[in-house]
Structure 1
Amino acid sequence: MKGLHAIIVSGGRLGDWALSFIHEGTYLIGVDAGASFLVKHGKQMDAALGDFDSVTTEEIDVIKQNSNKFQICDPIDKDLTDTELGLRFAIEQGADIITIIGGIGTRFDHSLANVHLLKMTLEEGITCKIVDLYNQIQLANDKLNITNDGYEHVSLLPLSSKVTGVTLNGFKYPLQNATLSIGMSLGISNILINDIGSIEIDEGELLIIQSRD
């Protein structure tokens, strides 16, 4: 379905702030403990999926009742994280915009793996962001315009070994045809000074992390 915006609520760091990202008309997917969070806040899900090893049997029954589609998998006999299952499901539904909430938490390995999932959506031509109260993360390999959205700091980190031709406009610290390589901190903690900032890339994959303290 063209123009479908899927919101995936995973089991990482969540709070009342997460509800502000959920809007009418979006396709709502609850993943594992994220599905339980949505039920507790009175949300009907289009789909709920995962191994549900983070919730009780009673909670699973309630999740089933509050989702139009329910899919459970074995927590041992699976190769994908729950968030990746949710992401692949969203892509199968035809989503061309995806927001991942609860993709960042206390488990750094899971948080980093979820950031790496942005590569999948980039290759599919899908706009995807990971958001929480303090961060908004996306991946680009061409040109991207960003707005403040309440996240005043902007950091640029290469996901590929090298990103060339990085040019910034509308930032406190501009760059012109710069090269960013893994292991460099040059792109950390810039500030957007215009309403819209533009980021241009010749080659490579660049993480754009907007954050606030």
Structure 2
Amino acid sequence: MNDRRIVIVTGGRLGDWALLLIGPDDFVIGADAGALFLARRGIRPDIALGDFDSVTAGELALIRRASAETREYDPVDKDYTDTELAWRLAVAKRPKEIVLIGGIGTRFDHTLANVHLLRFAAREGVPACLADEHNRIRLVSGSLQIADEGYPYVSLLPLTETVTGITLTGFLYPLADATIEIGQSIGISNKLTGDAGTIAIKQGLLLAIESRD
């Protein structure tokens, strides 16, 4: 699996834009209503999973028919959200990257929990991101190269209390061995000056959020 991406589609904010983020060689996991989204658009999930408490019996039947494999969980007797179940499965497969689509939505609690999943992937050495129509969110635990892929803004926010030794190259507002603490906005709305830039840190965990309006 190391030579393939895993794309997880979950039940947050979704639209036709999401289809553009799924490649023909991707291993696709549909989590709960995300599996229904895929089934309705003719995309066959390799695995559909969840407690499926957000779909009707008829919709669940459609998911079962449309998916290569369906894993159903009791809505009470489980410790993780459907998205985290899919994320843990994806990390265990050791892909070259995990992309979570639909992880950003109207439920801020779920959105924030999904952002925190990046830490779990980083601890296991698996590159990962959350993506939607306007954002791509990744975690920096050592260094990360940011290529110009149509996001005019790059914001940096600590996921740990303090991030030290932050050095930016190729950015409009460079930093050299800087420290950012939670609650500081100094890292908001930076921009690349060329085709790519590099973020390097010495200690802590830093969210790199690429955005467009």
TM-score, normalized by the shorter chain, greater than 0.5: yes
CA distance in 1, matches of 2:41, 2:103: 18
Q: Which residue of 2 aligns with 1:69?
A: 69
Q: Is the 8 A contact 1:39 1:62 kept in 2?
A: yes
Q: CA deviation at 1:33?
A: 0.5
Amino acid at match of 1:71: R
- How many residues end up aligned between the 2 structures? 213
Gapped regions of structure 1 (runs ≥ 5)? none
Q: Which residue of 2 aligns with 1:161?
A: 161
Amino acid at match of 1:212: R
Q: Which residue of 1 aligns with 2:182?
A: 182
The one-character-per-residue Cα deviations of 1:49-94 (angstroms, maximum 9, x if unpaired) are: 0111111111111111111111011112211011100011112233
Gapped regions of structure 2 (runs ≥ 5)? none
Q: Is the 8 A contact 1:169 1:199 kept in 2?
A: yes
Q: CA deviation at 1:146?
A: 0.6
CA distance in 2, matches of 1:157, 1:190: 12
Q: Which residue of 2 aligns with 1:120?
A: 120
Report SS of the residue matched to 1:48.
strand
Indicate the percent of aligned positions where both proteins have the same amino acid. Answer: 53
Q: Which residue of 1 aligns with 2:109?
A: 109
Moved over 4 A (4+): none
Q: CA deviation at 1:95?
A: 1.8
TM-score, normalization: structure 1? 0.98
Q: Is the 8 A contact 2:32 2:51 kept in 1?
A: yes
Q: CA deviation at 1:147?
A: 1.2
Q: Is the 8 A contact 1:136 1:209 kept in 2?
A: yes
TM-score, normalization: structure 2? 0.98
The aligned runs of 1:52-67 (5 Å cut-off) are 52-67=52-67
Q: CA deviation at 1:97?
A: 0.8
The aligned runs of 1:132-171 (5 Å cut-off) are 132-171=132-171
Amino acid at match of 2:118: L
Q: CA deviation at 1:4?
A: 2.3
Q: CA deviation at 1:100?
A: 0.2
